[in-house]
Amino acid sequence: MDDSLQIIPYVIPAVVAIFTTPTVWRFARSIYHVKGADHERIYEDKDGVASEESMAKYSTKYASFVIFLGIALGLAASFSFAVFATVSPSVVDDVTNLWLLFWCWVFVLVQAVDNFRDIRIISRYQNGIISSVSLFLVAICSGALLYEEIPESRGRVAFIVALSIQVCSALAAGLPFLFIPRRPDVFDSKGKVVERQFQSSLWTRYSYNWSSDILDLAATKLIELSDLPAMDSHVRAKDAKLHFQSIVTQPSVSLWRQIFWVFRWQLIFQWLMVILCAIIDAGPQLAVLKILQYLEARQEHGAIDPKAWLCVGFLFLTTMAETIFDYRVGWLMWSDLGVPIRSTLTALIFEKMMKVKDCKEPPKNPSDAEKTDDNGKSAAPEAPKDDISKKDAAKAKKRC
Residue 73 has pLDDT above 90, yes or no: yes
- Answer positive or negative: Cα dihedral of 215, 220, 221, 227: negative
pLDDT value, residue 24: 86
Alpha helices in the chain (DSSP H): 3-6, 8-32, 52-57, 61-87, 96-117, 121-148, 156-178, 202-206, 212-218, 237-247, 255-262, 264-280, 282-297, 308-332, 339-354, 366-369, 385-399
pLDDT value, residue 375: 47
Q: What is the mean pLDDT of residues 9-14?
A: 88
- Helix (H) / strand (E) element for 49: namely strand 49-50
Size of the chain, expressed as the number of residues it contains: 400
pLDDT band of 134, cuts 50, 70, 90? very high
pLDDT value, residue 274: 92
pLDDT value, residue 9: 82
CA 244 to chain centre: 21
d(CA 141, CA 146): 9
pLDDT band of 362, cuts 50, 70, 90? low
pLDDT band of 376, cuts 50, 70, 90? very low
Q: What is the mean pLDDT of residues 332-343?
A: 88
d(CA 68, CA 169): 10
pLDDT band of 103, cuts 50, 70, 90? very high
Report percent pLDDT > 70 for the chain. Answer: 80
pLDDT value, residue 212: 84
Q: What is the mean pLDDT of the chain?
A: 81
Residue 229 has pLDDT above 50, yes or no: yes
pLDDT value, residue 391: 56
Q: What is the mean pLDDT of residues 379-389?
A: 50
pLDDT value, residue 378: 47
pLDDT value, residue 132: 93
Q: What is the mean pLDDT of residues 316-335?
A: 89
Q: What is the mean pLDDT of residues 339-354?
A: 86
d(CA 295, CA 311): 12
pLDDT band of 136, cuts 50, 70, 90? very high
Residue 14 has pLDDT above 70, yes or no: yes
Greater confidence, 33 or 131?
A: 131
Q: Which residues pair with 230 in a beta bridge?
A: 194
Alpha helices in 118-179 (DSSP H): 121-148, 156-178
pLDDT digits (tens, 9 = 90+) for 259-279: 888 888 989 999 999 999 999
pLDDT value, residue 150: 67
pLDDT value, residue 47: 87
- Answer positive or negative: Cα dihedral of 199, 276, 328, 167: negative
